[in-house]
Structure 1
Amino acid sequence: MKVAILAGGLGSRLAEETEAKPKPMVEIGGRPILWHIMMHYSTYGFKDFSIALGYKAEVIKKYMVDYCSLNSNLTVNLKSGEIETHGGYRPDWMIDLVDTGLKTQTGGRIKRLAPYVGNETFMLTWGDGVSDVNLDDLLAFHRSHGKLATLTAVRPPARFGHLQLEDDQITEFSEKPQIGEGWINGAFFVLEPEIFDYIDGDMTHWEKEPLERLARDGQLMAYKHNSFWQCMDTIREKKLLESLWESGKAPWKIWEDQQNASLTNGAQRLHRNSHDTHAASSRT
């Protein structure tokens, strides 16, 4: 199953960080938040990604292209130009990196991913929020109700898309109310390909007309998530996520630290190989 991730916005409220990089590349614990999100999906076996790029797309492209060399030990032959990688954690991910336009809105970015997603159920989230949502349970919920769209409803302070719920069906969707508290749009969607028909074009905001129409048509359901969820819209929120990571108790880190283990093992193998080569030379 494809996982679509929107990673093309300007991130203007994180200007201190996003002047030189897109928001999904802002780091938590030395890794882009985009990596944290992909690790979450990968842990549940969802490893086929389509990423919608826009602002500073080249930064994300370069990171993905250089990923193996950046996360491995290297032997570089300057004379021949050959590079060998040793060890390192190499996730078995397939990634479409799709330029969806600098000014394209969220709905337009989603629609531009349609050729990559295909005519199948797919997942969708934003490239700036982490959670410990159980993706297997989310998918099972989506398949149980037979509607076109499921979003993950969460309950932090209400400043995102407010939801009116009746028995898990969304009857009203309104974006960013100024007052009140309740369930809000936490992304982590599961969607059927028919949702593309609800998106007119590049200037469509997914959070407005498409979700409003899906709600009116009775095609939008909420998976209620009562555990951890946090977006990263501001420096304060970045610092919060960073402090959680540094504490060793980041709620969204549901995977084993495979990367560090692989790097350590790779270094140990290199040391052993070097030692064996030196010993062989001494014997001769």
Structure 2
Amino acid sequence: MNKLKKKDNLVVIMAGGLGKRLKPLTDNCSKSMLKIGDKPILEIILNNFIKQGFYNFYISINYKGEQIKNYFKDGAKWGININYIHEKKMMGTAGSLSLISLKDDLPLIVINGDVLTTLSYDKLMDFHKKNCAKMTVVGKSYCVKIPYGVMKKEGLRLLDFEEKPVHKALINAGIYVLEAEAINNIPKNSYYNLNELIKKMLFNGDFIAVYEMDDYWIDIGTKGGLYQAKKDVYEVF
């Protein structure tokens, strides 16, 4: 049996959100500490990384952050290193990254704390490296079925009619790989979102790659997603 190769890349988990879409479940509980099966969501996310050889983690915390810190502590129970980014104010989806002291130039992975996935991070990192990207954004194919007949018209004239069409789009899966130099584009200790960083990097001419995943992925930030994950957990994870 081959020994699991350890990966020195930092993994940053964004777990500072208020969980407004999940109220009242999040009135007294951090969104990422809600349980799927017998484990908090955040523990499932961590375990998936651990199984793939990652051991250096930062968790960005704000709302109910002490619950997270008291549960995971320094990560020794899982054989990993956990540091915490304490957001004294809401800093958006990228602002807290400016508070990390990077000790090397390895790319880091950023993932939202309300995303469950079986994504192969080896494949993702190989893709990022192969394409020499400054940032890689993970996308997931998402289909929406319109439950009505859709008409196409010109003026008053009906041109076509399609019964219950399915529209397909590539959505942002909330998972990113960033080169260390990309972090330098983030204002220090300020509210800043990843979409702002992406727009800034694109304006600067930086190459941002898109990795289209076909693995299991679900957003548990909504009640529908949370309940679906509870059904899936034992088969998927």
TM-score (norm 1): 0.67
Determine the structure 1 residue equivalent to 2:57.
49
**Distance apart, 1:103 and its partner CA:** 1.8
How has the CA–CA distance of structure 1 residues 100 and 66 changed in structure 2, closer, same or farther, with 3 Å as cutoff?
closer
Residues 145-156 of structure 1: matches in 2 within 5 Å?
Answer: 145-156=131-142
Q: Give the letter aligned to residue 131 of structure 1.
A: T
> Which residue number in structure 2 is paired with residue 20 of structure 1?
28
The question of whether the paired residues in 1 share the 8 Å contact of 2:75 and 2:82 is answered with no
Report the count of equivalent residues.
Answer: 205
Q: State the match for 1:103 in structure 2.
A: 90
Provide closer, same or farther for how the CA distance between residues 218 and 97 of structure 1 changes in structure 2, counting only shifts above 3 A.
closer
Long gaps (5+) in structure 2: 1-8, 145-166
- Rounded to whole Å, the distance in 2 between the matches of 1:153 and 1:117 is 29
Q: CA deviation at 1:218?
A: 3.9
The one-letter code of the counterpart of 2:199 is E
For 2:174, what is the secondary structure of its paired residue? coil
Q: Which secondary structure does the structure 2 equivalent of 1:106 belong to?
A: coil
Q: What letter corresponds to residue 143 of structure 1 in structure 2?
A: K
Q: Does 1:5 find its partner at 2:5? A: no
Q: Which residue of 1 aligns with 2:158?
A: none
In percent, how many aligned pairs have the same letter? 24
Structure 2 distance, partners of 1:116, 1:194, is 10
The answer on 1:242 being equivalent to 2:230 is yes
The match for 2:125 among 136, 139, 143 is 139
Q: Provide structure 1 residue ranges, at least 5 long, that are not aligned to the other structure.
A: 69-89, 159-179, 254-284
- Please name the residue that 2:182 is paired with: 195
- Residues 212/22 of structure 1: CA separation in 2 closer, same or farther (3 Å cut): same
1:229 maps to 2:217: yes
Alignment of 1:161-172 (within 5 A): none
Deviation of 1:116 after TM superposition, in Å, equals 5.2
In structure 2, do the counterparts of structure 1 residues 156 and 121 end up closer, same or farther at CA, with 3 Å as the change threshold? same
The root-mean-square deviation of aligned C-alpha atoms, in Å, is 2.0
Change (3 A) 1:157 1:14: farther
Whether the aligned pair in 1 keeps the contact of 2:62 and 2:90 (CA below 8 Å) is yes
2:199 corresponds, among 209, 212, 235, to 212
Once residues 50 and 128 of structure 2 are traced to their aligned partners in structure 1, the CA distance between those partners, rounded to angstroms, is: 19
Q: What are the equivalent positions in structure 2 for 1:26-175 lying under 5 Å apart?
A: 26-65=34-73, 90-112=77-99, 114-115=100-101, 118-157=104-143
Q: Which has the higher helix share?
A: 1
8 Å CA contact 2:13, 2:60 repeated in 1: yes
Larger Rg: 1
The separation in 2 between residues aligned to 1:39 and 1:67, in whole angstroms, is 11
Deviation of 1:200 after TM superposition, in Å, equals 2.2
Change over 3 Å in CA distance of 1:59–1:116 after alignment to 2: farther
Give 1:12 shift. Answer: 0.4
* Matched position secondary structure for 1:156: strand
Higher strand share: 2
Q: 1:10 to 1:230 in 2, by over 3 A?
A: same
SS in 1 for 2:97: helix
> d(CA) in 2 for partners of 1:21 and 1:117?
33
What SS class does the counterpart of residue 146 from structure 1 fall into?
coil
Amino acid in structure 1 at the alignment position of 2:29: K
Distance 1:67 1:139, change over 3 A: closer
Tell me, yes or no, if the aligned pair for 1:151 and 1:190 is still in contact at 8 Å: yes
Give deviations 1:98-125, integer Å, cap 9, x for gaps. 202232211211222x215654311110
Q: Which region of structure 1 is more displaced relative to structure 2, 226-235 or 38-47?
A: 226-235
Normalising to structure 2: TM-score of the pair?
0.80
Query: CA separation in 1, counterparts of 2:98 and 2:15?
Result: 14
Give 1:212 deviation, angstroms.
Answer: 1.6
Task: Describe the SS at the equivalent of 2:193.
Answer: coil
